[in-house]
Amino acid sequence: MNVIKVIIVDDSAVVRQVLSALLNAASGITVTHAVANPLLAIERMKVQWPDVIVLDVEMPKMDGITFLRKLMAEHPTPVVICSTLTEKGAQTSVEALAAGAVSIITKPRLDLKQFLHDSADELVSAVRAAAGAQVGKLASRRPSLAPLPPPVTAKLNADVILPPMEARQVMATTERVVAVGTSTGGTQALEEVLSALPRVSPGIVVVQHMPEKFTAAFSARLDSVCQVRVKEAENNDRVLPGQVLIAPGGRHMLLRRNGAQYFVEVVDGPLVNRHRPSVDVLFRSVARAAGANALGVIMTGMGDDGAAGMLEMLNAGARTVAQDEASCVVYGMPKEAVKRGGVEKSVPLNAIYREILLQLQS
């Protein structure tokens, strides 16, 4: 296995020291340089180009966003953003993801060293996922955002949130629902799909793997570039035509039904498939509440979250679509869904919006 070469760019000496130690301790990863600003990084990269860059976004001399845009325009390279857990940090990180970064790891302002040690598995997973991402596809698309790879913890399934569906038929209704699950590379893919939709579109519920506090900024950005309304979901929000509800980071989102109307329930709970929110939790709830009234869409991402839930949706009568391998940044989640038999058809990213609009005709 080739060793993943990493450059760390962060103006905090403590962050550089701790991140270097954690990554160098992981098998198959080596930190070639840890520097205080992008100008120093550019000099080091002239000698040896890295496989992954771990990048702070708020730095002197040249900020991370300017560096990232220059990098993606001239030499697309996987970038993991290292961002503070603040509202400003979230907004800046969303801008960085829109410029082509692959994912985000977070850091607090206090107890930084202990936090980074506690998040070692997440950091290593993020770097490994980034090393396998096809960032040329991100650079060639219109700007958008990106997700968090799964941390290494005990893996639970959707049973911990919602029991499996009983064999029964869901009553038909004129209301249609589209459930979308996505992860690494998915924020840019989501923007491409959602910005192509007209105002008259079916109600959409989305799980995008992303840290807590970041989904609000992500939703606001999508809302600014889409004809449909996009918002971070709140408990009891109605699923309405022309509206997209994004599951909040750190919470699971379930579809519920009251008569002919659908709404979402936002709940706490353990990680499912090492994620919260989990695509499997959403998809299982859609199978139970909507059945044949639903469309399931699984898009680019690492791991297998959503594969089991998509099969449950198909078995409940829903239509199911996966993003094809050629258009995925990471063909992990769609591949697993196809392998398990839950996908009716795979289509390119630029055809997914048409599949969504077909829900209005079904």
Q: Catalytic amino acids?
A: 183, 209, 305
Rounded Cα–Cα distance for residues 255 and 245 (Å): 11
Cβ–Cβ < 8 Å for 273, 284: no
Task: Report the distance separating Cα 223 and Cα 243, nearest Å.
Answer: 10
**3-class SS at 139?**
helix
Ramachandran class of 306: left when φ > 0, alpha when ψ lies in -120 to 50, beta otherwise: left
DSSP code for 41? H
For residue 302, give the nearest of 272, 333, 334 by alpha carbon.
333
Name residue 208's beta-bridge partners: 182
Q: Rounded distance, CA 17 to CA 166, Å?
A: 52
Buried b (16+ CB within 10 A) or exposed e, 131-142: bbbbbebbbebe
One-character DSSP codes across 252-314: EEEEEEETTEEEEEEE----BTTBSS-HHHHHHHHHHHTGGGEEEEE-SBSS-TTHHHHHHHH
**How crowded is residue 326: how many other Cβ atoms within 10 Å of its Cβ?**
11
CA distance 68 to 271: 31
Q: Whole-angstrom Cα distance, residue 317 to residue 315? A: 5
CA distance 319 to 255: 16
Query: Looking up tokens 């679509």, which residue turns up?
Result: 321
Dig out the tokens for 281 from the structure: 């939790």
Q: Which two tokens stand for residue 222?
A: 């999508």
Is residue 151 within 8 Å of residue 103, measured between CB atoms? Answer: no
d(CA 291, CA 178): 11
Residue partners of 221: CB distance under 8 A and separation at least 6: 94, 98, 145
